[in-house]
Structure formats: structure tokens, C-alpha cells
Chains A and B, each alone.
Chain A
Amino acid sequence: MIKHLLSAADLDAAAATLVLDTAAEMASLAGREVKKLPALRGRTVVNLFYEDSTRTRISFEAAAKRLSADVINFSAKGSSVSKGESLKDTALTLQAMGADAVVIRHPASGAPHRLANWVEGSVVNAGDGTHEHPTQALLDAYTMRSRLKRLAGLNVAIVGDVLHSRVARSNVQLLHTLGAKVTLVAPPTLLPVGVGAWPAATSYDLDAVVPDSDVVMMLRVQRERMNQAYFPSEREYARRYGFDVPRMRRLPEHAIVMHPGPMNRGMEIAPEVADSPRSTIVEQVANGVSVRMAVLYLLLGGKA
């Protein structure tokens, strides 16, 4: 197994499948009397969060605690970090505290890569800038596999602000590794220059992509992008790229609709879609804990 999980590209098909299979075993815990496993007893997992993300932090915290690890939450707010301590100095502090793993969320792309140079333990990327969010991609893949019983050959449309999306980058990598076919759908302004090199097709036309999609994954669109001239108005964006009821009706019978959350209801996704049986949004949250347990176990469970 790998030492760090910095990018979805760190996982080959065998390793990614092992994570998903392990997550399935971890998920069976949820129904047990005692929802705790001793696998990481005596190990310390630090959640180092430079961005507010209660959802992701709680998910990692629950995962680590169910594996009996000691969890230290290190939030950038109200700590020495906000007084300007450098990431490197923070890393050395965590090192001195005996962190076996650091789960890092950071607004700067590549911060986990830097951190991995400065700590001896494992580093798990919990979202870095506009780069990657590999555990989100793993839980998305897990959710698709649970619902549709396979990943290879699935047509997955990822729709919205691809340019700024770490979820999209990780999903493109992982889904490609696992044999799914990804189509990125966005206005041209929200696709990065150089996207042609990604293992994914691109389209500007959501309606053309919907009928052939097994999975539609909607990305969060930040309203402030409008002021940066990425699109003219919320209304126009919602009309061209929002997932509404008529588009949902054109999906194949079995297809599912995903969203990494938090949602802008009425912007990229209509409330009726978010609350429909096709929506996996609540499952994604539950699966997040299992997948993160699997990742922490596989990174930390064996010989260091």
C-alpha cells in the first residue's frame, strides 16, 4: 500500500479496488452493536484544517475514532496558524506530537505534497485548493458501485465548475483508473485550458449528454464566479447547466444524480432532483465514513 494519499492518481486499479472492498467491510460495522474496531489503537491521527469544512472533518474524525485511533483536531482558526506560523513549523510541531497520520485540508493546491516532505507519518489530502480531494472521489466511486453494481464502462457526466473543482480532478483520475467513461460538462469558461490532456471527454451541452449518462455528478458553483465573468447570471447558468426535473426525466431509468455538497439548491440542482430517489446525496455522506476508515486502515494498519 502507498504511504500517502495526495492524489487519486496515487491509486492504481488494484489499490483503488482494495479501498472500495475494504470500505464495504467497514460499512458492515454500521449495523453492529459495537461500532468500533481496535485496528488503530494507539495511533494518532491529526486533522489539520486550514479551511472550514465541518462535514469533511467530522467524517474523518468519525472514521479515525471507529478504528480506535486518537484524534487531534488542529484548526487554523484560533491557533498559532492564524498568527502566521508556517506550514513547515506546524508540521514539525505535529511531528513532535507523534502524529502517525495528518489529514490536511488547505486552500493552497499542493499543500499536502509540501507537508509530506516535512512529516514522517502518512499524509491524507482532504482537499487542497483547486487541486484534488481523493477521498471524495473514492466515496463517489463507492456510491456508484453500490447503486449500479459496477464502475467499468459507466458513463459519468461531471457537470459545472470543473476549473475550480478538486472533486472533478480527483474523480476524473479515479474513474478513469477504474474504467468508467467521464464527460466533463461546463461552459467553456469553467473548463481549464489544457483539459484536453485529461482522460475525459468534454461537452458544453448538458442536454446532449444526459440521455446516455449512468451517473450525473453536479458540482457546486460559487455565486461569486459570476462577478469574475465566468457566466453572465445565475439564472442563465441554472438554465444551461443546472439539473432540473425535465433533465432528470431524460435520464435513463437506472441513472443516479450525485452532488458532493454543500448544494446550491435552485442553482446547479433543483430541489426536486436533490430530494428524488435518484439522488445519492445522503448516501454519499454515510459512505464517506466507511471509505475514510478504509483509507486510514490501509495507510496506517500495517507496519509503518
Chain B
Amino acid sequence: MITNLGEITVEDGVIVSINPDKKGPKIALPGLVDLHTHLREPGREDAETVESGSRAAALGGYTAVCAMANTSPVADTAGVVEQVWRLGREAGLVDVQPIGAVTVGLGGEQLAELGAMADSAARVRVFSDDGHCVSDPRLMRRALEYVKAFDGVIAQHAEEPRLTTGAQMNEGEVAARLGLVGWPAVAEEAIIARDVLLAGHVGARLHICHVSTAGSVELIRWAKSKGWRVTAEVTPHHLLLTEDLAVDYDPVYKVNPPLRTEADVLALRKGLQDGTIDCVATDHAPHSVEDKECEWAYARPGMLGLETALAIVVQTMGPQWDRIADWMSVAPAKIAGLTGHGHALQPGQPANITIFDPDVRWTVDPTALASRSRNTPYAGMELRGRVEATYLRGEPTVLNGKATR
């Protein structure tokens, strides 16, 4: 294939050569890796399955996704994580790497069998109660310490629950006017401040999920300056969208953490650009129509993201292809311990490749997405650039913008 790097030749799932004399306009990126995906299976197969989510991921240019643990049953045992891992293998469109729950049933009270999940066929390295915060500081400390034994990482959903009871959207002028309970930035920042201190104290790895505020960026910058092992992700929607979208009470814009202000958006972009934030993760969160076509307060929080992420990142951060490769493939693969992914495109590396056409314009049509759900905040928006092909170890999962199966 002819790309901006030259002509890439693949044999037996491995890149054998790149001929720099034959360059083209299509952008080649190492296969994208999503550190934060909700596949909903088992439990809510009406909203998404491992297969439908894998297809959405492939169409978005991903070759690996990390499946969050808040399924039903919760992925808090070796049995459940192996089930998800196996479903991913059967779908065969991306590598599905299960994330294990930190606490039993996401209950925040008792550690799940982290070691058993690490030792299972799924080889879990990332643990998260995402959707819930591990808010008990003692339990969080123990979790951070415990996973050091197998180089695990705790991915924290930073939200002090006592400060977000009933919260519906960012606390501020818009929430005050709309009469929606505010989700204050400090509820995120207080947990991040605490957890970076804990991680520093016990010398453990901490990953911060979906950073959404300017203050959080400041705290992470400070923690990194101390040399602590802290990483962070930002979602495409937090890089683009703001709280003002809530004005018509359409719950497609309801997400957790909530959309914030313009100032937060700019701080997140800056944090990503300067390396404070390590990567972009989608927090792809499919929800059924019934869970979104309702009153704002009753709607489930979350947005689709896999199929639009790359275009949104290019739109918000510019065509910095090397940086984008880092944010969306190299860094997340490294955090998740996915050794087969996130390698710069070079001869000898696995042929996990995303081909992106930066010039094609397309309008997001929720009904045309591969996800089983429709809750994209970009419906009707014209995006520039689309994934043309995705290769997983040399096998095309997407060709001409269509999934191969």
C-alpha cells in the first residue's frame, strides 16, 4: 500500500519493507489502541456486543481495545475476563484486552482477585472500577500496591462520590440555569490529587481515566514533575465538546465526567500537546435508545466514540501524525502492556496498520455506524478524514472504509 511513509509491503503479518520513493497522500499509522472501551457484553448485548464493538473499533482504525469491567456480571473474576477475551478472539476484528475490576462487583469495598485475573488467559494488567471511583483511600492504596507484583496499573475513574451525589452535568453557569445538579471539577481533582500522592508514596503505577478539567491537568503535570509513575488519558469528546450542548436537555450530551467549559477544553489540548496527558482514549459507551431517549436525569451517561475518534483528534489537534500515532497507539499500548501493538511502522514489526484518508469529508449518520447503539454526539456533523483500511497482523479488517466481516 502507498502511504505518506512510502509503499508498505507485508508478508505473514509482518512489515517487510517500506519504500520511501513511493509516497502517497494516505496516512499510515500504527494500528490504534483504545485504552477505554465499553463493549457491554456480557449483560447488555442490546447496546453492544464484543463483536459489534470490535467492528466499530476496526472501522475507527483500532487494532486493539481494552474492554472495561463494568459488564453484568462484572469482570471481577478470571472467568469473566476470559469469557470476554475469548469472545474477542472469536470476533477476530481487533485484539480485545479485558480490564479487570479493582473491587468485587465494583462495590468499592473488597479487592477483586486481581492476581487470578492477571494469571488468567486474558493476562489482565489494567484494573479499573470505571463508572465508579475507588473512593476509599485505604482500598485505593492497597490496590495500587498489590498490582505492583505483576506490573499492573490501576486506572482510576476520578470522582469523589460525596461531591457528585445526583450530579448531572458540569457545575457552573449552565447547570445553574438549567436546574441540573452540578458535577464540580473539584470532585475529579480531589481524587487525582489524593491518588497521585498515594502512587508516589507506594511507588506504584496510576492511570487517570478521562481527564476532563484544567485543574486535573495541572495536578498531573505536578505529579509527573515529581517523577511519579502517573499516566493519563483524555477522550475525543472532552477535546471538542463543551457543557453548552446541554441546553436542550438532549441526553446524547450526557457523559461522565461531564462536558466542561471552553477553558477546560483548551487546557486539555495543551496538556495533550505538552505530554502531560499521555494518550487519547474513547470511553466508547454505547447505550440503548431507551436509555437515551428520555429525561436528562434518567438517561445513562456515555457517548459512542470508536468510529469518530481519529477524525476528532485530527480536527482538534491538527495533522500531527507522529504525535497522533503516539497518543492513539504507542502510549496506550505501553500503558496497557500490549506488546504486540503500538510499534512505529518499521520493517520487522507486526503489521498492525491504520490507513487514514485525511481529505475525505463525511457526515456522521448514527444509523450507519457499526455500533449497536446510536448515541453519538456528532450526529449530522461533517468530519474530515476517515479510516480507509485497517490491518490486524497483516489481515485487513477494514477495506475501502468497510469492515471485511
Chain A residues within 8 Å of B, Cβ to Cβ: 86-88, 106, 108-111, 113-114, 128-132, 166, 169, 192-198
Contact = CB atoms under 8 A, between A and B. Distances in A.
Contact of A108 (B171, B248, B290, B295): B295
B182 interface: yes
B176 A195 contact: yes
Nearest to A228: B165
A87 B293 CA distance: 9
B180 interface: yes
A204 B297 CA distance: 30
B175 interface: yes
5 contacts: A109-B297, A129-B297, A130-B181, A192-B176, A194-B176
A85 to B, nearest CB: 11
Nearest to A106: B295
Given A110-B180, A129-B179, A192-B182, A86 B290 contact: yes
Interface in B170-188: 171-182, 184
B294 interface: yes
B177 A114 contact: no
Interface in B247-302: 248-250, 290, 293-298
A223 B181 CA distance: 19
B182 A131 contact: no
Contact of B179 (A86, A114, A166): A166
Nearest to B249: A110
Given A87-B294, A109-B297, A193-B184, A130 B179 contact: yes
A4 to B, nearest CB: 12
Interface of B: 168, 171-182, 184, 248-250, 290, 293-298
B341 to A, nearest CB: 41
B290 to A, nearest CB: 6
B179 A194 contact: no
Contacts of B294: 86-88, 114
Nearest to A112: B249
The 5 A-B residue pairs with the shortest CB-CB distance, nearest first, are A110-B249, A131-B179, A194-B176, A192-B176, A194-B173
A169 B176 CA distance: 9
Contacts of B290: 86
Contacts of A194: 171-177, 182
B174 A108 contact: no
B295 A197 contact: no
A88 B293 CA distance: 7
A130 B169 CA distance: 14
A113 B171 contact: no
B190 to A, nearest CB: 15
A113 B176 contact: no
B328 to A, nearest CB: 34
A130 B168 CA distance: 12
A169 B179 contact: yes
B179 A128 contact: yes
A36 B290 CA distance: 42
Nearest to B171: A193
A113 B248 contact: yes
A87 B295 contact: yes
B121 to A, nearest CB: 40
Contacts of A196: 173
Contacts of B177: 169, 194, 197-198
A166 B177 CA distance: 10
B293 to A, nearest CB: 5
A2 to B, nearest CB: 16
A169 B179 CA distance: 8
Contact of B178 (A88, A109, A195): A109
B139 to A, nearest CB: 25
A113 B249 CA distance: 7
Contacts of B176: 192-195, 197-198
Given A106-B295, A131-B178, A194-B172, 11 more contacts: A108-B298, A109-B297, A110-B179, A110-B180, A110-B248, A111-B295, A128-B179, A130-B180, A193-B171, A194-B174, A196-B173
Contacts of B178: 109-110, 131
A108 B293 contact: no
B295 A114 contact: yes
Nearest to A166: B179
Contact of B249 (A109, A166, A195, A197): A109
Contacts of A131: 178-180
A222 B395 CA distance: 64
Contacts of B297: 108-110, 129
Nearest to A172: B177
Contact of B295 (A110, A130, A132, A195): A110
